[in-house]
Structure 1
Amino acid sequence: MALSSGSSAIIAVMIWSILLLPAMSESHCYTTIFSFGDSLADTGNYLLSGPARFPAVAHLPYGETFFHHPTGRFCNGRLIIDFMAEAYGLPLLPPYLAIQGNESERYAKGVNFAVAGATALDVSYFVERRIPGLWTADSLSVQLGWFNNTLPSLCSENCHDYLKRALFVVGEIGGNDFNFALIQGRKSIDEVVSYVPDVVSAIVEAVNVLIKQGAVELVVPGNLPIGCSTLYLTVFRSANPLDYDPLTGCLIKFNEFAVYYNSYLQDALQKLRRQQPQAKIIYADYYNSAMGFFRNPPIFGFESVLKACCGVGEPYNFNLILMCSAATNVCKDPSTYANWDGIHLTEKAYEWMAHGFLNGLFTYPWLKPPMLCH
């Protein structure tokens, strides 16, 4: 089931949210968050994992807006997962690789296993298809292994109640499986479409494993509108105006691919819901959430949504080799930009998206309202 961003859908969600408040207020709030994914959720694992293909994330201007120093987040400030933790009154999720020795019990309120560049599929999948340039080998299955290593120290013998009150955020993951294939591997979009069942299968299997371990509430995000990504707009720049959406300036065929992938993922999650009725599997509609500000930038306070805030080069202030660093241009006010470094979004864009998820506008079914958790 795909969520519409139209006004009628928003009104319907608001009405149903009001009607459901009494029932929701009786449920328990989340006491823990576990996060898996890639750079859209990574709070420092990539930076802590050793020599990196993207060393600039260890330096300003990364982290300049909120933290005032680099944290390993691929952003000028907070990510969606940060806003979610704050909304539920929980501390920002520490990266798994920051856990030292037997200190796991200190992270009982949440751990972030996401790694920038991570893929849903294991490295061998890309090796077999001659797709080079992966940033990390810490795929989704590796992150699940980290979770299994950490869990015994978080809930000792009986984990049932602990996991029942936890929120699992599985993604966004899978986007890099396509990014590396399309950009590094130079695969055609038709060939990459054939990878979709494998990517979705890996995500669904991970969700299924977590449910069998005791997870009850899980959020699984879809992919962003990659046709609006500065990276894609630069690498696949076209002289044919028909390749672009006249309303947004985004590349049509790549957004159509994202819609196809998201639909396939939602169908698979619906099947899993029938197989695991005891679990609440929530789809987070990253696509339509982000399309709101790509279609109507001024409503969200954005002056630019396609150009990167930090970068160099025309026409999108992006260069795939130079990227964002202290040596490149940084916009004066990142809150007026949706795009941070050409690949990742700004804190303000993530904040808008997080509000949409927490308010139930772009999640199916809805998350527990944070206002009832305090």
Structure 2
Amino acid sequence: MKAMELVGEKWIEIVTCLVISTTLMRSVSGSESECIFPAIFNLGDSNSDTGGLSAAFGQAPPPNGITYFHSPNGRFSDGRLIIDFIAESSGLAYLRAYLDSVASNFTHGANFATAGSTVRPQNTTISQSGYSPISLDVQFVQFSDFKTRSKLVRQQGGVFKELLPKEEYFSQALYTFDIGQNDLTAGYKLNFTTEQVKAYIPDVLGQFSNVIKGVYGEGGRSFWIHNTGPLGCLPYMLDRYPMKPTQMDEFGCAKPFNEVAQYFNRKLKEVVEQLRKELPGAAITYVDVYTVKYTLISHAQKYGFEQGVIACCGHGGKYNFNNTERCGATKRVNGTEIVIANSCKDPSVRIIWDGIHYTEAANKWIFQQIVNGSFSDPPHSLKRACYGKSIRRHKFQLL
């Protein structure tokens, strides 16, 4: 009798374990399917600036914005940026710039990026070098202050309560980063050699790492980090630093500049791996936009584009780019102000917008390649960016 009772108890225990295991498995696999990000907070440079520099130093001039917004909208492009498509796919409104006080709603996030931003603070003014004084460390300070003040304002109530994120959004949000390109060009502007530029990259990435840790300390857990693009394929580098024929690849890109960008990206990936060890609660996705951008430029016609390294909006020169007469530049002729650096006829078939940034069509194509995780480490789609690299190992340990 006792033996039968023991068997019965053992059987109940086995069944209970199976039920619990099955429930856990369904719960985990269900939670894997999609992350719900109630907000996005972005830090970066002009590749993701939705109005920060314009709010601080004057609007990006027309014809910027002509394709989608039909007028200047703070973006250095004819239309939307990758960060805009990220917001769209998450069901959120386009991010308003933190510095833009006009009609801004930050309920579902904020954008701290400004064009010309670097990771390391620059020892020059924006008028001297073109680099923004709002470096990544300053953006983090702005974010931290925004988080603190948002909580206080919401507690006080009133009209502004509805324009700021809920407190829990800061831990549930997606944190996106796209910065580093200007740190590389800063060295070349000082006549550094490629080896000298490479030498200071560890310091740049050390400061980048500190900001990620800072955001983590503020409660951020989901990070989506873009590496830097093919610097040697941008007209503003090709025009300013002419290369020997042997230094150019078959697609018209400067190999030395692309090599330093690739070196930066390798070191960035190492930093990300280290951050995963130091921040076990973080889900950090490294996104290889370099490969996607270079593939598009080097196979432009295959993907329905034209003239990979020629700017759409510009004036003169081999690349339709003049550093002193950039996109939107005007000139007074017989008392009338005319635009001398205007848009090409059809931006939708061009990749490079103004010699530095990409067209909306290119940004959309790039987003479509990265959104499913094909160029990510770990290979999670954007909708699963809240999961860490070792999610499957954790799942099996749980069961």
CA apart distance, 1:218: 0.6
Specify the alignment match of 1:243 in structure 2: 247
* Matched position secondary structure for 1:97: coil
Report whether the alignment pairs 1:232 with 2:237: yes
Q: What is the aligned partner in structure 2 of residue 290 from structure 1? A: 293
Distance 1:112 1:294 in 2: 28
CA distance, structure 2, for counterparts of residue 24 and residue 312 of structure 1: 52
Aligned residues, how many? 337
- Residues of 2 paired with 1:344 and 1:122: CA distance? 22
Question: Are the counterparts in 1 of residues 232 and 254 from structure 2 also a CA contact under 8 Å?
Answer: yes
Name the CA distance, whole Å, in 1 between partners of 2:130 and 2:72: 23
Which stretch has the larger CA shift, 22-31 or 278-287? 22-31
Equivalent residue, structure 2, for 1:138: 134
- Map 1:1-374 to 2 at 5 A: 22-23=29-30, 25-50=32-57, 57=60, 59-99=61-101, 106-124=105-123, 133-155=129-151, 161-170=168-177, 172-182=178-188, 184-238=189-243, 240-246=244-250, 248-325=251-328, 326-370=339-383
Deviation at 1:369, TM superposition (A): 4.7
- Rounded Cα–Cα distance in structure 2 between residues aligned with 1:62 and 1:279: 37
* Distance of aligned partners of 1:372 and 1:203 in 2 relative to their CA distance in 1, 3 Å threshold: closer
Contact 1:108-1:154 at 8 Å conserved across structures: no
Contact 1:29 1:368 in 2 (8 A): no
Q: TM-score, normalised by structure 2?
A: 0.79
Aligned equivalents of 1:371, 1:279: Cα separation in 2: 13
Distance (Å, rounded) in 2 between the aligned partners of 1:311 and 1:179 = 20
Q: Closer, same or farther in 2 for the Cα pair 1:24/1:309, shift >3 Å?
A: farther
Where relative contact order (Cα < 8 A, 6+ residues apart) is larger, the structure is: 1
Cα gap change, 1:225 to 1:46, in 2 (>3 Å): same
1:202 maps to amino acid: Q
* Counterpart amino acid of residue 44 in structure 1: G
TM-score if structure 1 supplies the norm length?
0.84
Q: Match of 1:152, SS? A: helix
The 3 A distance-change label for structure 1 pair 204 and 355 is: same
Identity of aligned residues (%): 34
For structure 1, list consecutive stretches of 5 or more residues without a partner in the other structure. 1-20
RMSD across aligned positions (CA): 2.5
Q: 1:121 and 1:369 mapped to 2: Cα distance?
A: 28
Q: Is the 8 A contact 2:285 2:378 kept in 1?
A: yes
Cα distance in structure 2, aligned partners of 1:264 and 1:279: 19
- In the TM superposition, what whole-angstrom CA distance separates every residue of 1:165-211 from its partner, at most 9, and x where no partner exists? 200012x21211121221x3222222111110111111111011111
Structure 1, residues 119-156: CA drift from partner, whole Å, max 9, x if none?
101134x69xxxx5143211111111111111134445
Change (3 A) 1:311 1:215: same
* Aligned equivalents of 1:278, 1:371: Cα separation in 2: 15
Task: Show structure 2 runs of 5+ residues with no match.
Answer: 1-27, 156-164, 329-338, 387-399
Q: Bigger radius of gyration, 1 or 2? A: 2
**CA deviation digits over 1:278-303, x for unaligned, max 9?**
10111111210101112211222101
